[in-house]
Amino acid sequence: MRKMPKKPAAPPPAPEPAEKPKNLQNINIPDITLPVSLAEKQTLLKPHIERSHDIVNRPFTIGAQQPVEAYAIYINGVIDTDAFNASILRPLMIYGEDPQSAGDQGPELPEYIARTLLTVGLFREIDRLADLVRDIYDGMLIIMLEGSSQVLSIDIHKAHLRAIEEPVSERGLRGSKEGFIESLDVNISMVRRRLRDPKLVVKKTVMGQRTRTQVALLYIEDIADPNIVKEVETRLNNVQIDAVVASGYIEQLVQDHPWTVFYQHRVTEKPDKAVMQILEGRVLILVDGTPSSISAPSLFVEFFQAPGDYYERTWIASFIRVLRYIAFFLAVSTSAMYIAVVNFQPELIPQELLVPIARFRNQVPFAVVLEVLVLEIMMQLVIEAGHHLPGNVGQTVGVVGGIIMGQAAITARFASPAAVIVASFSAMCTFVLPSPGMALISRVLRLPMILAAASFGAVGFALMWLILITHMTSLTSVGVPYMSPLSPTRYRDLKDSIIRYFLTSMKDRPVSIPSQDKVRQAKQGVTGNQ
Amino acid sequence: MTSKQIGFMILGTLVGINFLTIPRTASEWAQQDAWIAVLIGALLPLVVLVLIERLGRQFPEMDFIQMSQFLFGKIAGSVLVILLCFHMIIGVAREIARFAYVESTFLLPATPIWAISLLILLVSLYVAGQGAQVVARINELLFYLYLPAFFLIVYPLMTVADYTYLLPVGGSGIGSIARSAFDVSLYFGRMEFLMVAYFMVTRKDEVLKAGAVALVAVAVPYMLFTAVCVMVFGAEDLQDQITPILAMFKSVAYPILERMDLLFMVAWSVAFRPAFNLLCMSGYSLTRLLNLQKRKHYLMILTVSGTAAYLLSSIPRNIVDVIIYSNWQGFTHPIVGLGYPLLYHLAARIRGGQKQNV
């Protein structure tokens, strides 16, 4: 794997709101003004950093004629040491001989040296202890000087980042192969590169009192519905949690219905997909440390859409879309249908097929439902094992689990061939789905379907689907009906739901997602500014 | 609720299990003109629709409970609301009982009726418990899901149907057609639920149009199914079929799918929309009438109503009882459907007169 040598663009520190929400307050750090004396500053700071042995405290002197004592404080391994030596220490220690420098500047010295000596882009001055401690732990380089209560907080982060690669879980034949990585700023830049709209708003905030994770909200100012934006912002601000380790936390903390199995926010690792979502009036949430984005609101039909659909011919894209819906239905239903047919309605099976099924079933000592359940659990274990093992080994486990164990189960009369085919087919259908989330859901939903079919045959199966559809219809995502445009039916949006209609005909943004600017294409086929 | 959704809800409430038997009833007197009887029978719900819509226009700011208490006083108005709710609960019981017996006959012969009824009730409670908006959306979605199933009917038309069975048109006589039309009109009952649902619609000016479209969407397939059944069996043989629609599927060999009748029945086994629609409306009305909080007490009221419906549905001892009870109950639909709006119109006129005098 190629390593990225350096973070491409050092970001400014996260903007501070005028009045800090409760979740942004520092834990047990007195919010007092820093003293002028360097020694007093160190004394004040000591209790907050003395147990962190990775924090480097580097004393040095600025200038020689009127020397000023100074300290550089930073976390080892977080800052770019080359930049530190070349752009900060060298100018301050060697070139800081200017007669106008040093003690003449008094309390204005930090600002003066930042303006005249330091060759770095991003810095800010702070004079509060709480800000100082927080900036140290945020990975800033801190320069403290004798004679001034102002302290310089300089951003020269250097992180060893994973290279930009194609997301493993969302591969496509056509279109961009780029995937988000773990750096928030790189991810934002990937969106920016594709969406050079000055109306694209990027709002950053910090979440998690202890992790202080940067979270960014992206939307297009004149497309996204202000109520949706406000609602998402309010939900984010209301989150009071000590740690946000990944975007999954945010997703679950801001969703409408926490108890449902369905994901109410589409997660994607593909920046091109994320840009499409923003362009449809959605709000995108990016979280530092997570290589994926969350969009709000999200609809059920979105989980069957892939960026590649829009790059293919309409007929091909529509065919694949329909296949995905069929795959979802079969992934959830095949095992249950098998039980219902074999146990309750064998007359539905053609005579020629019924006889061999009955013959093999006769050799299996378990009830159909038990046979299917055991195979399902085996299959789920194989899938899970495949996910957690390295690439080649995972494939081997898949082959061993799927073919050899299946064959062995039939030979040992542990399962009938039909049941093995059903379990394998169900598992295979889940892999057709473009959203890993929906694939997981289909695996979970299989179980209640099996139990319903085992209890009431085809009637139980049909009723369980009714319950499922009702449940899905009752869901919302940021207040938007989850099953829209299917229910409530938005006829115009059906162009991009079960099928993907001609792009030339999709002149408006989806009405299912509230937005300010509905027009996507000029009516005469002319798009954008000429 | 949107006007479009009320249209789908009307459609869902009118089309229940009786869909399976309508060709036999329509052809009993009208013979080959059964399809004409179906169209005429559809006029009854149209009249009910117009009456309720005209009534609702006079009280656009009120709901059913407010309107009842305004027109008849608190006590008499409340009694009328409770009576309509009870009528709807009986309708739920009828639907549960009929579905349970049909499913027992075709799909679950070994499962006891009480278990099937309970299953239908629990699912109905779940759907109704999600609130009127979700119920309306489910009706909408189920309509689209069932739409392809209706095209299956075209297949027998191409293979075994004989259109000469429909001839001579009008040959059965006006009296016979009228008699069958009356019988068929009972199949279009339950329109009275609109007394409650009308007031939930945001664009009330579109209700009449949406309702009329829904009625056409019910009447045309009913007419089509009836005509096809007559063309397949002939009017006389049709009388020997308890569920002609299923029998028709059985009589035609579909490619690959050998037992289309069973598949159709499986798909139709979730079509007890009248049960959850009426349950939702009665639950909503009772919650409002008792001045209870919808969020807190709606589910409780629904459970009580559902339990009552379940107990009523367990009264018939066999399928013959179910048919007899349901036929009798069917007569209450035109009485309530026409009687309630007419009574309210009368009261509104009297109240209006009083107001003018004041």
In a shared domain, residues A272 and A395: no
Q: Which of A135-139, B217-221, B256-260 has the lowest mean pLDDT?
A: B256-260
In total, chain A counts a number of residues equal to 530
Domain shared by A149 and A260, yes or no: no
* Residue A228, domain member (yes or no): yes
- To the nearest whole Å, the CA of B331 is away from the closest chain A CA by 30
pLDDT at A22 over 60: no
Q: Provide mean pLDDT across the span A421-447.
A: 90
Domain co-membership, A358 together with A473: yes
Would you state the pLDDT for residue B276? 92
Nearest chain B CA: its distance from A344 CA (Å): 7
The total of structural domains in chain A comes to 3
**Which tens digits make up the pLDDT trace of B17-46?**
777 888 888 888 888 899 999 999 888 889
Instruction: Give the residue among A26, A25, A43 at the shortest CA–CA distance from A34.
Output: A43
pLDDT at A106: 63
Mark whether A190 and A55 lie in a shared domain: no
Q: Is A92 in contact with A113 (CB distance < 8 Å)?
A: yes
Rounded to an integer, the average pLDDT of B235-259 is 78
Same domain, A141 and A235: no
Q: Is the peptide bond before B168 cis (omega within 30 degrees of 0)?
A: yes
Count of residues making up chain B: 358
Q: What is the per-residue pLDDT for A78?
A: 85
Residues A69, A94, single domain; the answer is: yes
Q: How confident is the model at residue B144 (pLDDT cuts 50, 70, 90)?
A: confident
List, as one string, the DSSP characters of A156-177: -B---EEPP---GGG--SSS--
B213 touches chain A (CB under 8 A): no
A291 and A355 within one domain: no
Is A408 an interface residue toward B (CB < 8 Å)?
A: no
Interface of A with B in 468-497 (CB under 8 A): 469-470, 473-474, 481, 483, 486-489
Residue A380 has a CB neighbour count (10 Å cut-off) of: 16
* Over residues A285-304, mean pLDDT: 92
At residue B205, the pLDDT reads 85
**Whether residues A316 and A293 fall in one domain:** no
Task: For residue A350, give how far its alpha carbon lies from the nearest alpha carbon of chain B (Å).
Answer: 7
How far is Cα B156 from Cα B256, in angstroms, rounded to an integer?
15
Q: Which among B103, B130, B259 has CB closest to A470?
A: B130
Tens of pLDDT along B169-193? 888 888 889 988 988 888 887 888 8
Q: What is the pLDDT of residue A98?
A: 55
The tokens describing A192, both together, are 């920016």
Do A53 and A129 fall into the same domain?
A: yes
Contacts of B103 in chain A (CB under 8 A): 459
User: Rounded to whole angstroms, what are the CA distances from B263 to A353, A449, B96, B204?
Assistant: 17, 18, 20, 39
Higher-scoring residue by pLDDT: A214, A160? A214
Mean pLDDT score, A200-208: 90
Confidence of residue A346 (pLDDT cuts 50, 70, 90): confident
Average pLDDT over residues A515-530: 67
**Final residue before a domain boundary, out of A457, A480, A503:** A480
Sheet containing A266-268: give its strands across. Answer: A200-207, A213-220, A283-287, A293-296, A266-268
Q: Is the peptide bond before A291 cis (omega within 30 degrees of 0)?
A: no
Tens digits of residue pLDDT in A129-185: 888 998 898 889 999 988 888 899 998 888 777 888 888 778 877 888 889 999 898
Residue A97 banded pLDDT, cuts 50, 70, 90: low
A319-324 mean pLDDT: 94
Residue A70, H or E segment: strand A68-75
A-B interface: how many C-beta pairs under 8 angstroms? Answer: 83
Contact A186/A7 with Cβ under 8 angstroms? yes
Highest mean pLDDT among A155-159, A479-483, B153-157: A479-483
Mean pLDDT across chain A, nearest whole number? Answer: 84
pLDDT mean over A458-472:
94
Is residue A519 one of the residues assigned to a domain?
no
3-state secondary structure B131-179: CHHHHHHHHHHHHHHHHHHHHHHHHHHHHCCCHHHHCCCCCCCHHHHHH
Please compute the mean of the pLDDT values over residues A454-466 and round it to a whole number: 93
- Summarize pLDDT for A483-522 with one digit per residue, the tens: 989 988 888 889 888 889 988 888 889 899 999 988 888 7
What confidence category does residue A95 fall into, taking pLDDT thresholds of 50, 70 and 90?
low
Domain assignment of residue A418, yes or no: yes
User: Using one digit for the tens of pLDDT, what is the confidence trace for A371-412?
Assistant: 899 888 888 888 888 777 776 677 777 777 777 888 888 888
**pLDDT score of B282 more than 80:** yes
pLDDT of residue A105: 58
Best of B111, B249, B269 to substitute, by most chain A Cβ atoms within 10 angstroms, is: B269
| Residue B331 φ/ψ, nearest 5 degrees | -65, -25
Q: Do residue A114 and residue A182 come from a single domain?
A: no
Residue A514 maps to a domain:
no
Contact criterion met (CB below 8 Å) for B92 and B275? yes
The answer on A432 and A383 residing in a single domain is yes
Residue with the larger pLDDT of the pair A104 and B262: B262
pLDDT for A24: 41
pLDDT of the residue at A399: 72
Among A153-157, A161-165, B208-212, B292-296, which stretch is predicted with the lowest mean pLDDT?
B292-296
Tens-digit pLDDT profile for residues B81-127: 999 999 999 999 998 998 898 889 888 889 999 999 999 999 999 99
Residue B246: per-residue pLDDT: 81
C-alpha Rg value of chain B to the nearest Å: 21
pLDDT at residue number A197: 87
Last residue of a domain, one of A480, A496, A515: A480
Whether pLDDT at A477 is above 90: yes
Query: H/E element holding B212?
Result: helix B207-233
Beta bridge partners of B292: none
What pLDDT score does A528 carry? 44
Q: What is the pLDDT of residue B154?
A: 67
Res. A53: pLDDT tops 60? yes
What confidence tier does A524 reach under pLDDT thresholds 50, 70, 90? low
User: C-alpha distances in angstroms, B188 versus A87, A457, B331?
Assistant: 85, 31, 11
Q: How confident is the model at residue A12 (pLDDT cuts 50, 70, 90)?
A: very low
Do both A339 and A462 map to the same domain?
A: yes
Q: Is A511 part of any domain?
A: no
User: Residue for token digits 């639907």?
Assistant: B95
Which of B11, B125, B137, B276 has the most A C-beta neighbours within 10 Å, making it the best mutation to test the interface with A?
B137
Q: Which of A272, A298, A324 is the last residue of a domain?
A: A298
Q: Which domains does chain B have, with CATH numbers?
A: 3-346 (1.20.1740.10)
User: What local confidence, expressed as pLDDT, does residue A7 receive?
Assistant: 41
A139 lies in which domain range?
22-154
In the predicted structure, residue A104 carries a pLDDT above the cut 80? no
| Chain A contact present for B138, CB below 8 A | yes
For B119, which of A345, A463, A483 is closest by C-beta distance?
A463
CB atoms within 10 A of CB A60: 16
Contact at CB, A458 and B144, closer than 8 angstroms: no
- Has residue A191 been placed in a domain? yes
